Each structure stands twice: as C-alpha cells, then as structure tokens.
Amino acid sequence: MPNKNIQLILNKTTANLGYEGEIINVSKGYARNYLLPYKVAEPLTKSRLQYAQKIEAQKVRVREENILQMTKLKNDLESINKFSLKRKISENNNIFGSVNEKDIIDLINSNTGISLQKEQVQLPEVKEIGVYNIELKLLDNLVALVELHILPETSS
C-alpha cells in the first residue's frame, strides 16, 4: 500500500494543524487541494527546513530575552511592593465608584513608567478602604504580587 501522506511546512499558524514553521504530515489530497493553493503550507525542502530552524532559533532567543525582561520587571514591582490610591468614602468606609484594572495600570505607569495590559491585572473586588493583594500576570508562569492600599480622600 503506497504512502498517502506528505510532509509540509506551515507558512502560518492554523487551528488543528500547528504553528508557523512547524512540520506536519497530511494527506496528499488535503495538501494538493487546500494547503498548497492557499499558501497555508509549502513542500518540505532542505532550504525551507533550514529557514524554519533559523526562525525557531530566533523565536527562542526572543522568548528568552522576554523572560529575562519580565523577571527584571517582576523584581522591580515587588521591590516597590506597595501602591496607594485615594478614593472618596462614605460614612461606613465604603468607597464611591469602583477601582478597576485601568486605575491600577495608570497608577503603576505613573509611579514606575511600566505599562501593563488590562488582561495582566488580577484584581479582587474592591468595595471599601483597606489593603488588597493584586496579582500582575507578566507571563504565563511569572506573576508579580503587589499591595494596593485604598486610602480615604481628605477634603480640605
């Protein structure tokens, strides 16, 4: 029985197939009718294989640099550890309005110059003055913990 599969290298990340630069085994019909005409993948050649290995090495290097940079950022944030935010309060220490991820991002950016994304901030529900622990998810496995102090706003 002849081999009905062909090896291709992906040009772009595709659901259920793999990531860009990955080598895949697919049936000849799928390759001939879809992957090759739409330039989703190309036949595996020595030059394409070398190119894919070079691209993968670059990605690994960039990923390692990113990990080092985020580790330094985590150490910087944890050395500061405490951020304070003033809010108007009611008579029973409940705050007016809310504290959301954007407030935290602006606070950290104004104090340190570090810009974060909204998805990186894990904020507990903040309803009254006090101290709250905030998780800043820098990478998938790298989390910085900082304290948020909600203080009453003094009226003069």
What is the pLDDT, as a whole number, of residue 94? 87
HSE of 144, CA atoms in CB hemisphere, 13 A:
24
Check residue 56 and give left, alpha or beta (phi > 0: left; psi -120 to 50: alpha). Answer: alpha
**Mean pLDDT for the stretch of residues 94-121:** 89
Q: What CA–CA distance (Å, rounded) separates 81 from 130?
A: 15
Q: Distance between CA 128 and CA 76 in Å, rounded?
A: 28
Residues 112 and 66: their CA atoms lie apart, in Å, by 19
Per-residue pLDDT reduced to its tens digit, 87-107: 888 888 888 888 889 999 999
- CATH superfamily ID and name for 72-152: Ribosomal protein L9, C-terminal domain (3.10.430.100)
Model confidence over 20-50: pLDDT tens digits? 888 899 999 999 999 999 999 999 999 988 8
Listed in order, the ranges of the chain carrying CATH 3.10.430.100 are 72-152
Question: What local confidence, expressed as pLDDT, does residue 156 receive?
Answer: 52
Averaged over 112-120, what is the pLDDT? 88
Amino acid at residue number 90:
S
Percent of the chain with pLDDT over 70: 97
CA distance 68 to 77: 14
Q: Global pTM?
A: 0.64
The per-residue pLDDT for 155 is 64
pLDDT category, 127, cuts 50, 70, 90?
A: confident
Q: Cα Rg for the chain, rounded, in angstroms?
A: 25
Which of these CATH numbers, 3.40.5.10, 3.50.50.60, 3.10.580.10, 3.40.640.10, describes 5-58? 3.40.5.10
Q: Mean pLDDT, the chain, as a whole number? A: 88
